[in-house]
Structure 1
Amino acid sequence: MNLLVQASSSDGGSFQGPSINEFFPPTLFTIGGLEFNRIVVVRLIALVVLILVFWLGTRKMTIVPRRFQSVVEMGLDFVRVNIGEDLLGRKDGRRFLPLLTTIFFMVLFFNLTGAIPFLNIAGTSVIALPLLLAVVAYVTFIYAGIKKSPKNFFKNSLFPPGVPPFLYIIVTPIEFISTFVLRPITLTLRLLMNMVVGHLLLVLFFTATSFFFFEVGGWWALFGVGTFAFGFAFTLFEILVAVLQAYVFALLTAVYIQLAVAEEH
């Protein structure tokens, strides 16, 4: 495990934990007026790797797939079967498959950078990217509902059938907030907070490891062994969280689309 997380200790040797300022790193370089900091560079690396993986996995496809092609196909089939067709059916599942596939693998690759040596921060740990993906999911949900039922989508969303009319004064504001306000917010915050907390925990454990080993020394190094073990365990856990968050984000996007194209709309 790369201890890219540097020891944060003052001149007096006192321990200093991770700071939220790590998510607002200084500019590394500028190109044409565009500023590139560490997180932007990490995102670009993840994007290049993502494109490269799918290009190499699909450029020379054969009937009997080779090992790398099989891995890529398994990933694509996972999204198609378990997220797309399982929730939306065959027709709508294939219709929205490009979007669901893009969201799943983009979130996955950008999440995993938080556990990769020399990168060590998730590309989704700053709000801009999770918010962008949530807006895309939200706009797709609105589009799917209007496309399915132009006249009744908003009506059925805000005034659910079967509710006594006098209750709409209570139900309609709740439906509006839960359906058209909270969905993009919760999508954004669920992904963002998991990546932020995961990064801070890893920084804490590995900074503490460096502190106990190199700043204090002596028998305090035993605590460094413990913090390193916790850091390694949480790295594995962070990888699991990265995969789960990609799955949950794509799954909820499919759920919202399914609700939009349901027959009652």
Structure 2
Amino acid sequence: MAPYGTGFGKQMLVVILSVIIIAWFFKAAIRNPKLVPGKTQFLAEGFYSFARNTIGRDIMGEKNFRPWVPLLLSVFMFVLLNNILGAVPFIQLPSFSHAGSAYAIAMIIYFTWITVGVRKYGLRYFKLAVVPPGVPGWILPLLVPLEIISNFIVRPLTHSLRLMATMLAGHMIVILAGSGAEYLITEQDNILLQATGFAVIAGSVAMYFLELLIMVLQAFVFTLLTALYIQGALDADAH
């Protein structure tokens, strides 16, 4: 028997499904482009504009953002759809509620911005990333280790764990609320406890919509940080 968390399972199936849906969606949107867009084209253009302008241009600046729009759009759509699928009945599994998935996508971004920095500055990038300009030499032995830990260890961990912890916590709250309501309604004879169960159901519905909002926000935050890290690598000599 394969160890838990390995092999092909529902989570990998959801990831593959998300890729298929995203590919189908954008292919359908550009199949017959029109000057006055239909609903699918309008929605696709809205996603593109959001990734291009709100994330790319506003964070990376007019000079740097254009080559990175495809990556930012892909990251945003992939994280968003994998989050949203966790709220779909019968699927109900946010892919990034599993630490392995969150680590994987965060590591892709991690190696991307390191590669960007090395390609532009060579190995000098690592010095630029950990030695702030204008800092007195006597404080560098203390500051440099902190910068190494912050930039090359803590940053990818927080990038992944923020997404994973939020998806896991939100999903568990909704599940626990639903399970608790079912128990109070079906297993208790006390009318007050049964009424409490119905109140919990109402509250879980509100939590469901709050979780949907958080799913969208986490996709935005993850993509925003991706843009920030790449921009930081491009302008490492300006830090």
Structure 2 distance, partners of 1:49, 1:209, is 34
Number of matched pairs: 234
Whether 2:176 is the aligned partner of 1:204: answer yes
Deviation at 1:217, TM superposition (A): 4.9
* Superposed counterparts of 1:69-88, under 5 Å: 69-88=41-60
Shift of 1:117: 1.2
- CA displacement, residues 19-73 of structure 1 (integer Å, 9 cap, x when unaligned): xxxxx68xxxxxxxx9432323333333322222222112221222112101110
Q: Residue 259 of structure 1 aligns with which residue?
A: 232
2:91 is matched with 119
Separation of aligned partners in 2, 1:87 and 1:106: 20
Aligned with 1:244 (options 212, 217, 238): 217
Residue 129 of structure 1 deviates from its aligned partner by 1.5
Which amino acid in 1 is paired with 2:210? F
User: Which sits farther off after the overlay, 185-194 or 128-137?
Assistant: 128-137
Q: What TM-score comes out, normalization by structure 1 length? A: 0.83
CA–CA separation in structure 2 for the residues paired with 1:36 and 1:140: 27
Higher helix share: 2
Q: 2:77 aligns with which of 73, 98, 105?
A: 105
CA distance in 2, matches of 1:216, 1:57: 52
1:26-105 aligned at under 5 Å gives the runs 35-105=7-77
Distance in 2 of aligned mates of 1:197 and 1:244 = 15
Contact in 1 for aligned 2:181/2:200 (Cα 8 Å): yes
- Is 1:227 the counterpart of 2:193? The answer is no
Q: State how far apart, in whole Å, the 2-side matches of 1:181 and 1:130 are.
A: 15
Separation in structure 2 between the aligned mates of residue 217 and residue 109 of structure 1, nearest angstrom: 41
Aligned to 2:107: 135
Give the Cα–Cα distance (whole angstroms) in 1 for the partners of residues 7 and 158 of structure 2. Answer: 29
Tell me, in whole angstroms, the C-alpha distance in 1 between the residues paired with 2:63 and 2:136. 35
Q: Secondary structure at the match of 2:8?
A: strand
- Structure 1: stretches of 5+ with no match in the other structure: 1-23, 26-33
Structure 1 vs Structure 2 CA RMSD: 1.8
CA contact (8 A) 2:15 2:82 kept: yes
Query: Which stretches in structure 2 are left out of the alignment for 5+ residues?
Result: none
